[in-house]
Amino acid sequence: MLILLNGAKWHVFWVDERVVPKDHEDSNYKLAYDGFLSKVPIAPGNVYAINDALSAEGAADDYETCLKHLVKKGIIALSSVSGYPKFDLMLLGMGPDGHLASLFPGHPLVNEKEKWVTFIKDSPKPPPERITFTFPVINSSAYNAMVVAGAGKAAAVHSALGDAKNSEKLPVELLSAEGELKWFLDKAAASKL
Protein backbone atom coordinates (compact mmCIF):
# COMPACT_ATOMS: atom_id res chain seq x y z
CA MET A 1 0.00 0.00 0.00
CA LEU A 2 1.12 3.55 -0.46
CA ILE A 3 -0.15 6.82 0.78
CA LEU A 4 -0.07 10.11 -1.06
CA LEU A 5 -0.52 13.18 1.07
CA ASN A 6 -2.02 16.15 -0.71
CA GLY A 7 -2.39 19.01 1.72
CA ALA A 8 -4.70 17.85 4.48
CA LYS A 9 -6.16 15.04 2.37
CA TRP A 10 -4.92 11.49 2.30
CA HIS A 11 -5.05 9.43 -0.88
CA VAL A 12 -4.44 5.69 -0.62
CA PHE A 13 -3.30 3.45 -3.50
CA TRP A 14 -2.01 -0.09 -3.86
CA VAL A 15 1.53 -0.77 -5.07
CA ASP A 16 0.25 -4.21 -5.99
CA GLU A 17 -2.98 -6.10 -5.61
CA ARG A 18 -4.27 -9.58 -6.20
CA VAL A 19 -7.00 -9.72 -8.84
CA VAL A 20 -9.68 -11.17 -6.56
CA PRO A 21 -12.94 -9.67 -5.23
CA LYS A 22 -12.41 -6.93 -2.63
CA ASP A 23 -14.01 -9.10 0.08
CA HIS A 24 -11.80 -12.14 -0.70
CA GLU A 25 -9.38 -13.27 2.02
CA ASP A 26 -6.42 -12.79 -0.40
CA SER A 27 -7.34 -9.17 -1.17
CA ASN A 28 -4.85 -6.56 -0.02
CA TYR A 29 -7.74 -4.10 -0.05
CA LYS A 30 -9.66 -6.23 2.47
CA LEU A 31 -6.59 -6.55 4.68
CA ALA A 32 -6.00 -2.78 4.61
CA TYR A 33 -9.69 -1.98 5.06
CA ASP A 34 -10.19 -4.34 8.00
CA GLY A 35 -6.97 -3.38 9.78
CA PHE A 36 -6.66 0.33 8.99
CA LEU A 37 -8.97 2.09 6.55
CA SER A 38 -12.19 1.28 8.42
CA LYS A 39 -10.70 2.89 11.55
CA VAL A 40 -9.42 6.23 10.20
CA PRO A 41 -11.19 9.23 8.68
CA ILE A 42 -10.03 8.92 5.06
CA ALA A 43 -12.72 9.83 2.54
CA PRO A 44 -13.82 6.70 0.63
CA GLY A 45 -13.32 8.61 -2.64
CA ASN A 46 -9.64 8.97 -1.76
CA VAL A 47 -9.09 5.21 -1.55
CA TYR A 48 -8.21 3.86 -5.00
CA ALA A 49 -8.80 0.12 -5.13
CA ILE A 50 -8.48 -1.78 -8.39
CA ASN A 51 -11.55 -2.68 -10.43
CA ASP A 52 -11.84 -6.33 -9.43
CA ALA A 53 -14.46 -7.00 -12.10
CA LEU A 54 -11.80 -6.75 -14.82
CA SER A 55 -9.16 -9.20 -15.99
CA ALA A 56 -5.64 -8.73 -14.65
CA GLU A 57 -4.63 -6.90 -17.83
CA GLY A 58 -7.79 -4.76 -17.78
CA ALA A 59 -7.35 -3.94 -14.08
CA ALA A 60 -3.73 -2.85 -14.65
CA ASP A 61 -4.68 -0.67 -17.63
CA ASP A 62 -7.59 0.82 -15.69
CA TYR A 63 -5.38 1.58 -12.66
CA GLU A 64 -2.75 3.25 -14.83
CA THR A 65 -5.48 5.34 -16.51
CA CYS A 66 -6.70 6.36 -13.04
CA LEU A 67 -3.19 7.44 -12.04
CA LYS A 68 -2.76 9.47 -15.23
CA HIS A 69 -6.11 11.18 -14.61
CA LEU A 70 -5.02 12.07 -11.06
CA VAL A 71 -1.76 13.47 -12.42
CA LYS A 72 -3.77 15.69 -14.81
CA LYS A 73 -5.91 16.87 -11.88
CA GLY A 74 -2.80 17.71 -9.85
CA ILE A 75 -3.52 15.14 -7.13
CA ILE A 76 -0.40 13.14 -8.00
CA ALA A 77 2.79 14.98 -8.95
CA LEU A 78 5.16 13.84 -11.66
CA SER A 79 8.81 13.42 -10.79
CA SER A 80 10.99 16.06 -12.39
CA VAL A 81 13.77 13.46 -12.45
CA SER A 82 12.04 10.39 -13.92
CA GLY A 83 8.76 11.68 -15.37
CA TYR A 84 6.87 8.97 -13.47
CA PRO A 85 4.31 9.61 -10.72
CA LYS A 86 5.96 10.75 -7.50
CA PHE A 87 4.16 9.42 -4.45
CA ASP A 88 4.91 10.80 -1.01
CA LEU A 89 5.25 7.44 0.70
CA MET A 90 5.27 3.81 -0.34
CA LEU A 91 4.95 1.20 2.37
CA LEU A 92 6.56 -1.94 0.98
CA GLY A 93 7.14 -5.49 2.12
CA MET A 94 9.38 -8.24 0.85
CA GLY A 95 8.89 -11.96 0.35
CA PRO A 96 11.39 -14.66 1.35
CA ASP A 97 12.50 -14.88 -2.29
CA GLY A 98 13.35 -11.16 -2.40
CA HIS A 99 10.27 -10.09 -4.34
CA LEU A 100 8.54 -6.81 -3.65
CA ALA A 101 5.17 -5.66 -4.92
CA SER A 102 4.42 -8.38 -7.50
CA LEU A 103 7.89 -8.17 -9.03
CA PHE A 104 9.37 -11.64 -8.66
CA PRO A 105 12.93 -12.94 -9.20
CA GLY A 106 13.60 -13.94 -12.79
CA HIS A 107 10.27 -12.58 -14.07
CA PRO A 108 10.39 -10.19 -17.07
CA LEU A 109 8.21 -7.62 -15.26
CA VAL A 110 11.24 -6.69 -13.15
CA ASN A 111 12.63 -5.02 -16.30
CA GLU A 112 9.46 -3.16 -17.39
CA LYS A 113 10.39 0.47 -18.09
CA GLU A 114 7.44 1.88 -20.05
CA LYS A 115 4.27 1.09 -18.11
CA TRP A 116 3.34 2.61 -14.76
CA VAL A 117 1.18 -0.37 -13.81
CA THR A 118 1.37 -3.83 -15.28
CA PHE A 119 -0.07 -7.27 -14.62
CA ILE A 120 1.11 -10.79 -13.93
CA LYS A 121 -0.92 -13.92 -14.64
CA ASP A 122 1.63 -16.48 -13.49
CA SER A 123 2.68 -15.28 -10.06
CA PRO A 124 4.81 -17.91 -8.32
CA LYS A 125 2.94 -17.01 -5.14
CA PRO A 126 -0.85 -17.57 -5.19
CA PRO A 127 -3.14 -16.15 -6.33
CA PRO A 128 -1.55 -16.07 -9.79
CA GLU A 129 -3.22 -12.93 -11.20
CA ARG A 130 -2.08 -9.56 -9.87
CA ILE A 131 -1.44 -5.97 -10.84
CA THR A 132 1.72 -4.15 -9.79
CA PHE A 133 3.46 -0.82 -10.02
CA THR A 134 6.68 -1.05 -12.01
CA PHE A 135 10.12 -0.20 -10.65
CA PRO A 136 10.26 3.23 -12.35
CA VAL A 137 7.14 4.24 -10.40
CA ILE A 138 8.23 2.62 -7.13
CA ASN A 139 11.68 4.19 -7.32
CA SER A 140 10.27 7.66 -8.10
CA SER A 141 8.72 7.81 -4.64
CA ALA A 142 9.74 10.58 -2.27
CA TYR A 143 9.98 8.07 0.57
CA ASN A 144 10.05 4.28 0.44
CA ALA A 145 9.67 2.32 3.68
CA MET A 146 10.60 -1.37 3.44
CA VAL A 147 9.19 -3.34 6.36
CA VAL A 148 10.51 -6.89 6.80
CA ALA A 149 9.85 -9.38 9.58
CA GLY A 150 10.75 -13.01 10.10
CA ALA A 151 13.74 -15.32 9.90
CA GLY A 152 12.53 -16.70 6.57
CA LYS A 153 13.47 -13.38 4.98
CA ALA A 154 16.93 -13.05 6.54
CA ALA A 155 18.82 -14.42 3.50
CA ALA A 156 17.11 -11.96 1.14
CA VAL A 157 17.77 -9.09 3.59
CA HIS A 158 21.43 -10.13 3.69
CA SER A 159 21.54 -10.21 -0.10
CA ALA A 160 20.08 -6.70 -0.30
CA LEU A 161 21.87 -5.03 2.61
CA GLY A 162 24.81 -7.24 3.50
CA ASP A 163 28.01 -8.07 1.72
CA ALA A 164 26.59 -10.91 -0.37
CA LYS A 165 27.76 -11.00 -3.98
CA ASN A 166 25.08 -12.57 -6.17
CA SER A 167 25.35 -12.93 -9.91
CA GLU A 168 21.68 -12.06 -10.36
CA LYS A 169 20.11 -9.34 -8.25
CA LEU A 170 16.92 -10.00 -6.36
CA PRO A 171 14.09 -7.56 -7.13
CA VAL A 172 14.45 -6.00 -3.65
CA GLU A 173 18.04 -5.08 -4.55
CA LEU A 174 16.67 -2.83 -7.32
CA LEU A 175 14.72 -0.74 -4.81
CA SER A 176 15.61 2.91 -4.38
CA ALA A 177 13.75 6.19 -3.91
CA GLU A 178 14.16 9.69 -5.26
CA GLY A 179 14.05 10.92 -1.72
CA GLU A 180 14.68 8.48 1.09
CA LEU A 181 14.65 4.70 1.46
CA LYS A 182 14.41 3.29 4.99
CA TRP A 183 14.43 -0.34 6.04
CA PHE A 184 12.57 -1.47 9.15
CA LEU A 185 13.65 -4.96 10.25
CA ASP A 186 12.85 -7.15 13.21
CA LYS A 187 15.71 -9.11 14.85
CA ALA A 188 14.89 -12.29 12.94
CA ALA A 189 14.95 -10.60 9.53
CA ALA A 190 18.24 -8.86 10.40
CA SER A 191 19.84 -12.02 11.84
CA LYS A 192 22.25 -12.57 8.92
CA LEU A 193 23.56 -9.01 8.74
pLDDT digits (tens, 9 = 90+) for 12-47: 999 999 999 999 999 999 999 999 999 988 888 999
> What's the pLDDT score for residue 25?
97
Q: List the one residue out of 96, 54, 70, 82 whose CA is nearest residue 13.
A: 70
The type of residue at 73 is: K
105-136 pLDDT tens trace:
999 999 999 999 999 999 999 999 999 999 99
**Ramachandran region of residue 158, left (φ > 0), alpha (ψ -120 to 50) or beta?**
alpha
What band does 7 get if pLDDT is binned at 50, 70 and 90?
Answer: very low
Weakest-pLDDT range from 96-105, 120-129, 137-146, 160-169: 160-169
Domains of the chain: 2-185 (3.40.50.1360)
Q: What is the pTM of this model?
A: 0.93
Please give the radius of gyration of the chain, using alpha carbons only, rounded to the nearest integer: 16
